[in-house]
Amino acid sequence: MAKQTADKHILSGDFSISGVVKQVDSLSHSLQKLESGRTKKLHVDCGNINSIDMNGLQLLHVWIECARMRGLEVQLVNLPDYMHKTIQQLGVGQCFKNSHQGMDGGS
């Protein structure tokens, strides 16, 4: 699920294979709202994501890229430790390199 303010997006819920389908509609709707907004920087708060796997990371990556194509600078914030570990274990840090400091996939 995604809640949105002017410059902040709060993601929550299950971003694993069993929950990612439910996230698609929410994220799609939020992209439509972003088109009408005036903000150019968007902070995406991941602190309420309770589960994430490769499927959820792929969805999140595509959503970030769609937001960037709309001219937004996206910054992931408040990533839980397990999310950092999942990104590192799966070797997808490069996909999120410009979205979150310290995610270079190599450290």
Per-residue model confidence as pLDDT tens digits over 32-47: 776 655 668 888 999 9
Q: Where in the chain are the domains?
A: 2-96
CATH of domain 2-96: 3.30.750.24
pLDDT over 50 (residue 60): yes
Share of the chain above pLDDT 90, in %: 28
Lowest mean pLDDT among 30-34, 58-62, 70-74: 30-34
Beta strand residue intervals within the chain, DSSP E? 2-4, 8-15, 41-52, 73-77
Token pair, residue 19, equals 């929950």
